[in-house]
């Protein structure tokens, strides 16, 4: 195993209003590996993912993908992130979302029955469960080799 390969996150520290949430957190994941982060509510799991993705700023972090240092994961094109809450705008169609978020695996996604069924529907017209399922499918068919699922 090459020590510079994969997603490498080290020394993540984050505080909220002076309360430490994350302290010296380390994470390493290879392409194709599935890694779960377990903890109680409020333990910092979501915060860690947001720090890695780049939507929350940590007081300190060191992150790299395949040896290349990055500050915001979303800028690399190597990390996709599914937040806890809906992230797709209500007024776009499933077709538009598929077009925007997938390319490499688009043909595979378009064969999924639920995508075929709701392809022309607006995201906001879907039930909460269907909408979430569509979001999960879109993220899992994203081109990024690393996918963060905050569920």
Nearest-angstrom CA–CA distance, 139 and 102: 8
Nearest-angstrom CA–CA distance, 23 and 44: 10
pLDDT of residue 151: 78
Cβ distance 74 to 53 under 8 Å? yes
**Which residue from 149, 142, 133, 134 is spatially nearest to 93, judged by alpha carbons?**
134
Q: What's this model's pTM, rounded to 2 decimal places?
A: 0.88
pLDDT of residue 51: 97
Cβ distance 51 to 31 under 8 Å? no
Phi and psi at residue 74, to the nearest 5°: -65, -25
Ordered per-residue pLDDT tens for the chain, 151 residues: 566 889 999 999 999 999 999 999 999 999 999 999 999 998 999 999 999 999 999 999 999 999 999 999 999 999 999 999 999 999 999 999 999 999 999 999 999 999 999 999 999 999 999 999 999 999 999 999 999 999 7
Residues in the chain: 151
């Amino acid at each position: 195993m090459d020590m510079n390969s994969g997603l490498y996150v080290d020394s993540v520290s984050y505080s909220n209003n002076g309360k430490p949430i994350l302290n010296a957190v380390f994470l390493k994941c290879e392409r194709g590996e599935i890694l779960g982060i377990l903890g109680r509510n409020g333990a910092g799991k979501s915060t860690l993912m947001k720090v890695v993705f780049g939507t929350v700023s940590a007081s300190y972090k060191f992150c790299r993908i395949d040896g290349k240092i990055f500050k915001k994961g979303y800028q690399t094109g190597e990390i996709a992130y599914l937040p806890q809450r809906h992230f797709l705008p209500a007024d776009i169609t499933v077709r538009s979302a598929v077009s925007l978020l997938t390319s490499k695996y688009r043909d595979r996604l378009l064969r999924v029955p639920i995508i075929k069924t709701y392809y022309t529907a607006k995201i906001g017209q879907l039930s909460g469960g269907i909408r979430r399922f569509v979001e999960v499918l879109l993220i899992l068919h994203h081109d990024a080799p690393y996918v963060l699922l905050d569920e």
